[in-house]
Amino acid sequence: MDANAVIVEQFDRGAAWFDTWSVTGDERMLEGLAEFCGLTEDDDVLDVACGTGAFALHAAGRVRSVTGVDISTGMIGVARDKAVALGLGNVEFVRSDVARLDLGADRFSPVVSRSAFHHMPLVAEVFAGMVRCARPGGVVCVQDVMAYGDEKVDAFFERLEAVVDRSHHRSLGKREFFDLYRANGVALEALFESESLLDVAHYIEHVEQTEENRAQVDRLVREGLGDPDIAPWFVQDGDRLRWRRRVCTIKGRKAEADQNHRIG
Ligand SMILES: C[S@@+](CC[C@H](N)C(=O)[O-])C[C@H]1O[C@@H](n2cnc3c(N)ncnc32)[C@H](O)[C@@H]1O
């Protein structure tokens, strides 16, 4: 099955559950991202791989318009229902593969993607499309989990992710995020590095699991806890085991029209 088929199958089936996952609707994180993007009432937000619309709907009350794009009909369906329930008239959701973004050039700011790049084999195409859609002088912002920058630690957690979540492709490193901005002539403005303390048991269940998967995850976690290089990335919190997942939020600005002309 190709990567997009796995993504569509998983998110179509799990849309309602994903929407109720505490990380999806974490108000503090959503507000942090809104502030980081510096939303204003003149903004036309594009939310790339918007899922069930958590950020799109959070942003809608304070901007002119929001467009959310996602490849999963199930996720888009939940997002649309929520927009209707909230009585929001300035939000639309479009089903599309964001590796082939075709919403017109120079239209949006900010163009945002949250928690999605690690699913995508074609991040270069996705990011180039985000920049194409951004207004000259507009903000391009990516928030996602980030690699640890240590070969052994990254190899371990990528193995864990591959078992937990079949739609996980790869966590990018900070340099790789920067390179995307540089390669597309987007000036870097701000970087915020943080940690999400994921409840391991809860995280595993954010996608449907087989008993065999659960056993494999259990074995891997025990292996990690027994390894002095890996164990520090887990934290015992009462009876909950938590995983210190690194998160990176990057903001850049597309060149103004006259600069684009000179570059082009
Ligand atoms: C972990 S969810 C994050 C959703 C949302 N951004 C949020 O923060 O709640 C990842 C989303 O990426 C979408 N996605 C992955 N690859 C995609 C692609 N090539 N085109 C469009 N959407 C994609 C999935 O369908 C899923 O809704």
Give DSSP secondary structure letters for 128-176: HHHHHHBPTT-EEEEEEE---S-HHHHHHHHHHHHHH-TT---PPPHHH
Nearest CA to ligand 1 atom 14: 49
pTM for the full predicted model: 0.95
Backbone angles phi, psi at 244, to 5 degrees: -80, 90
Could you tell me the distance, in angstroms and rounded to a whole number, from the CA of residue 127 to the centre of ligand 1?
14
Nearest CA to ligand 1 atom 10: 116
Could you tell me the distance, in angstroms and rounded to a whole number, from the CA of residue 29 to the centre of ligand 1?
17
Residue 14: CA atoms inside 13 Å, Cβ hemisphere, count? 18
Write out the two tokens for 32. 């942090």
Could you tell me the distance, in angstroms and rounded to a whole number, from the CA of residue 135 to the centre of ligand 1?
22
Kindly report each contact of residues 163-167 with a partner whose C-beta sits within 8 Å and lies 24 or more positions away, as own/partner: 163/213, 163/216, 163/217, 163/220, 164/203, 164/204, 164/207, 164/209, 164/213, 164/217, 165/10, 165/206, 165/207, 166/6, 166/10, 166/207, 167/3, 167/6, 167/7, 167/10, 167/11, 167/119, 167/207
Residue 232: per-residue pLDDT: 98
Could you tell me the distance, in angstroms and rounded to a whole number, from the CA of residue 198 to the centre of ligand 1?
19
* Residues within 6 Å of ligand 1 by CB: 4, 7, 11, 24, 49-51, 54-55, 70-72, 75, 97-99, 114-116, 119-120
Cβ–Cβ contacts within 10 Å for residue 66, how many?
A: 28
Nearest CA to ligand 1 atom 13: 49
Residue 246: per-residue pLDDT: 97
Residue 246, exposed/middle/buried by CB under 10 A (0-12, 13-18, 19+)?
A: buried
Residue 226, exposed/middle/buried by CB under 10 A (0-12, 13-18, 19+)?
A: exposed
Residue 258: per-residue pLDDT: 67
Q: Please give the domain boundaries of the chain with CATH numbers for all domains.
A: 3-146+168-194+248-256 (3.40.50.150)
Residue 259: per-residue pLDDT: 62
Pocket test of ligand 1: the residue of 98, 144, 161, 247 to mutate, having most ligand atoms within 8 Å of its CB, is 98
How would you write the pLDDT of the chain (264 residues) with one tens digit per residue? Answer: 688 999 999 999 989 888 887 777 788 999 999 999 999 999 999 999 999 999 999 999 999 999 999 999 999 999 999 999 999 999 999 999 999 999 999 999 999 999 999 999 999 999 999 999 999 999 999 999 999 999 999 999 999 999 998 899 999 999 999 999 999 999 999 999 999 999 999 888 888 888 999 999 999 999 999 999 999 999 999 999 999 999 999 999 999 986 655 544
Write out the two tokens for 71. 């490849």
Q: Is the link from the previous residue into 110 a cis peptide, with omega within 30 of 0?
A: yes
End-to-end Cα separation, the chain, in angstroms:
38
Residue 131: per-residue pLDDT: 98
Could you tell me the distance, in angstroms and rounded to a whole number, from the CA of residue 254 to the centre of ligand 1?
23
